[in-house]
Amino acid sequence: MDKRPIVEAMQRFYKKQNTSLHVPGHKHGALSELPRAFKDVMKFDYTELEGLDDYHHPEGVIEEAQKLLAIAYEATHSYFLVNGTTVGNLAMVYATCREGDRVLVQRNAHKSIFHALELVGADPVFLTPEWDEKTHTSTHVSLATVAAAIEHYPQAQAIILTHPTYYGVTNSVMGEVISLAHSHGIPVLVDEAHGAHFIATADFPMSALEMGADVVVQSAHKTLPAMTMGSYLHIQSNRVSYDKVNRYLRMLQSSSPSYLILASLDDARHYIETYAHEDYQLFSTTRKLFVDSLKTIHSLEVVEVDDPIKLILRVHQYTGYRLQKQLELQGIYVELADPEQVLLILPLLKARHQFPFAEIRMKIKTAVEKCAKQQRDKVDIDYSHDLYALSTLAVSYKELQETENEWILYTKATGRVCAGMVIPYPPGIPLFVRGERITTSKLEMLADYLASGAIIQGEHDLSRKQLLVLKEAKV
């Protein structure tokens, strides 16, 4: 459908050149002292005014735009999210779980999932993902692991999965996993932050929504042309209450939504809905030429994954951080670096678009050559730290809140209960989760991350080699 209801309503409002005696205080940018380009955008920074609808009780253009979104993704209900996929993850967990409920959750989930579980007070069972030798990353949870989890915890109220991974790896048995969970009456909640573009063409992997997941949250801003913090949430099942999801979204999201984000979400939906066969042909041909040209660069390893938009680059004996630094000196900024590689997110081009791939290839070649002239910095990391398919917290979230904490040297933390998240970022997947018991193998992995120059988020003081743990009762 060639309609963008929110965009069109904002254009109509702008043409009226109304006088602002309402919020926001910059008065259509007139009082702002930002550069001109910023001020031009602020002319469209509206609030909930006549003709622009009410975000939390939509009855006009926002309602119409969200219905178009649901049609595009073949969902029962769909929402525009202005607080990112994080708020969608929070809402779907709140809508399905209560304090003390058993919840099956993929161990390499995003930190927002763990935050949601803690806020609800659920009792998580962590499912260890499979290791992928091709991408050197943790990927999906196997069907056997899910079956074992359901057998051990048949009372589970939900299973929370990630699809695809940050690195663009999909789960070939995702449909079977969803069917297995449903056969036991367990709703499937999916963080599909990196899969909003999957519906563009059958040449992309299938969305978890297409495979029957009950609730799916997608970051439109990651792979579609939406503004940062713009995401979608889709429901297509009576296993999860639409009214509950709606209520928690009203509670958790800003009461002053950004209409710029809403407009970009409306536009992104239109973009993917009108993505044509000739658009994909152009994207596919251009991508192949670019990838083939990268493969001719000496010392550069190019790794292709399930999602054609994602591309991994490595230089032998050098960390991804070193390569990232050299790329940035050439003006090339990648999505992330880890101890092994860097990750590129390519643009989902339409036939009318141009992108400077030849220039990018030249700059990547220069970065690789400069990288190879420096001292090698690769650190071998043992990623086999999760040995058990299923694991639980050592203490409940309630006990975590009621017990005092203390700082100790991480070299002396084996066997203690972690009181703070430790998260290599990006991609934001916790190495230590609050309430887990600290193992020697995970501490060794932490030391490897630090030696490789990784950025570590969370509640820690690693500059002094200290971790936050629960204080133990003195005997």
For 156-215, write each residue's pLDDT tens digit: 999 999 999 999 999 999 999 999 999 999 999 999 999 999 999 999 999 999 999 999
Same domain, 361 and 419: no
Q: What CATH number does the domain containing 356 carry? A: 3.90.1150.150
Q: Nearest CA to 192 among 218, 168, 215, 159?
A: 218
Q: Are 108 and 138 in contact (CB under 8 A)?
A: yes
Instruction: Go through the chain and tell me how many residues it has.
Output: 475
Residue 282, in any domain of the structure: yes
Measured CA to CA, the distance from residue 455 to residue 230 in angstroms comes to: 25
Domain end point (choices 274, 290, 309): 274
Same domain, 358 and 446: no
Q: How confident is the model at residue 475 (pLDDT cuts 50, 70, 90)?
A: very low
Same domain, 240 and 282: no
The residue segments making up the domain with residue 443 are 393-470
Measured CA to CA, the distance from residue 467 to residue 120 in angstroms comes to: 25
Lowest-confidence region among 11-25, 216-230, 357-371, 423-437: 423-437
Q: What is the pLDDT of residue 447?
A: 87
What is the chain's mean pLDDT, rounded?
Answer: 94
Q: What CATH number does the domain containing 447 carry? A: 3.90.100.10
Residue 385, in any domain of the structure: no
E strand or H helix at 232: strand 231-235
Question: What percentage of the chain carries pLDDT values higher than 70?
Answer: 97
Q: What is the pLDDT of residue 284?
A: 97
Measured CA to CA, the distance from residue 357 to residue 258 in angstroms comes to: 33
Same domain, 127 and 209: yes
Q: How confident is the model at residue 377 (pLDDT cuts 50, 70, 90)?
A: confident
Q: What is the pLDDT of residue 376?
A: 82
Domain end point (choices 216, 251, 274): 274
Residue 384, in any domain of the structure: no
First-residue to last-residue Cα distance in the chain:
70
In degrees, rounded to 5, the angle at the alpha carbon of residue 146 between the alpha carbons of residues 381 and 89 is 80
pLDDT at 372 over 80: yes
Domain count, the chain: 3
In degrees, rounded to 5, the angle at the alpha carbon of residue 142 between the alpha carbons of residues 138 and 147 is 140
Q: Nearest CA to 159 among 138, 187, 183?
A: 187
Q: How many CB atoms lie within 10 A of CB 353?
A: 12
Beta strands at 158-162 and 188-191: parallel, antiparallel or unpaired: parallel
Residue 78's DSSP bridge partners are: 234
312: left (phi over 0), alpha (psi -120 to 50) or beta: beta
Q: Give tens-digit pLDDT for 246-304.
A: 999 999 999 999 999 999 999 999 999 999 999 999 999 999 999 999 999 999 999 99
pTM for the structure as a whole: 0.94
